[in-house]
Structure 1
């Protein structure tokens, strides 16, 4: 994630850190969000129960609590603020705290702060906001751990699990369709408000989702 000036010793400006994923956001980054340096449309919520790549551990782990992260670009986790052509950062002068801490040859400073003081949606959405109840309902009905549980059972031939999985995907899809239409909100905000779509999470489990009209079917791969 760190892309310092060319005269800073050690960094080769290869951009590999940024291609491994954008930073998670911490309380130190709150001013960057409040002043619009990092708009909410550039943030994705990774919810409790999701399996994500843990950079310091270099491993896939299940989150025990939600975290906010800078979105990727071009269908990958490459930080959207990285310019792939020049390996430069679009917000380097005001980069998030994790980017300041990370240096690929010494990850100890990042490890020391990695899971501390992380921001959540509750830190950024005012209490009583009209979407708070809908977000809570969506979290309840589309919990990532439950999604994974249903996908495993459906893969093994459990028809009831398959139907429950279809209902979950349909509900998630409908929420994402209705909110921009009813509020005029930028659809790019949906990943912040509701996390990654169910079909995207299923893709990480090697389950492809096919939608034709109202019909939803799955292809269990691997």
Structure 2
């Protein structure tokens, strides 16, 4: 008779992993999105070039390719589906694949699947979707890597870089205002279609964005 090792490490369901960020979504999770278990309004697109927290590496790194992720709550990366008071998950029975693989005392299973078969926006939108062209244009004009280059140059006093950065941020703001207005879609879907707003990404670089009439101004904080 095999004796079970009751001292083997096991998940204590303390919620710490969930507080460090919700899961990225993979091909295995496609049915959860298709049947509405995970609404698109609860998903944020992280685009190539954005700096994000890498769970297996446990450090902030730039993304090499697009990633879909469960949104955070209350202005943090704490997973939207975690109840902070009770450390319970609202979708535990149908949780995404990364959640099943993640165990803080042994991240090997998560590391093995982390960059494999990640879902992208294109996987969820049919060919010919009316927003595909707008998304591509937004990606071209609001590239996070270019944004970072411009912000660094503007911080050093490059006025032309500052003006280009303003144009980029204003375009991002207007896209997020006009698309819901003209299409009738919920503004909560902006984070899925267009990723995180540029003012949020700039905030991670200690650049505060203020609206000023039809434009914006920046405060480059120390």
TM-score normalised to structure 2 length: 0.95
Correspondence 1:52 to 2:44? no
Aligned pair count reads 215
Q: Distance in 2 between matches of 1:17 and 1:51?
A: 19
- SS of the aligned residue for 1:98 comes to helix
Query: What is the alpha-carbon distance in structure 1 between the residues aligned to residue 16 and residue 214 of structure 2?
Result: 41
Aligned to 1:90: 90
Q: CA deviation at 1:212?
A: 2.7
Per the alignment, in what secondary structure is the counterpart of residue 56 of structure 1? coil
Q: Which has the larger radius of gyration?
A: 2
Partner of 1:129: 129
CA drift at 1:59: 1.0
For structure 1, the residue ranges without an aligned partner over 5 or more in a row are 1-7
Correspondence 1:204 to 2:209: no
Deviates more, 1:57-66 or 1:135-144: 57-66
| Structure-1 residue corresponding to 2:105 | 105
C-alpha distance in structure 2 between counterparts of 1:103 and 1:181, whole Å: 42
Aligned to 1:145: 145
Aligned counterparts of 1:137 and 1:118: Cα–Cα separation in 2: 22
Q: How much does 1:10 deviate?
A: 2.1
CA deviation vs aligned residue, 1:69-107 (integer Å, no higher than 9, x gap): 000000000000001111000000000000000011111
Contact 2:9/2:105 (<8 A) preserved: no
**How far apart in 2 are the matches of 1:117 and 1:131?**
23
Distance in 2, Cα, partners of 1:85 & 1:137: 42
CA offsets 1:183-211 (integer angstroms, 9 cap, x no match)? 11111100000000010000011100001
Query: What is the aligned-residue RMSD (CA, Å)?
Result: 1.0
Q: Distance in 2 between matches of 1:187 and 1:59?
A: 31
Q: Deviations over 1:110-140 (max 9, x none)?
A: 0000000000000001110111000000000
2:96 equivalent to 1:75: no
- Unmatched 5+ stretches in structure 2: 1-7
SS in 2 for 1:127: coil
Q: What corresponds to 2:190 in structure 1? A: 190
Distance 2:153 2:65 in 1: 24
For residues 68 and 14 of structure 2, the distance between their equivalents in structure 1, rounded to whole angstroms, comes to 25
State how far apart, in whole Å, the 1-side matches of 2:170 and 2:186 are.
21
Q: Distance in 2 between matches of 1:78 and 1:213?
A: 34
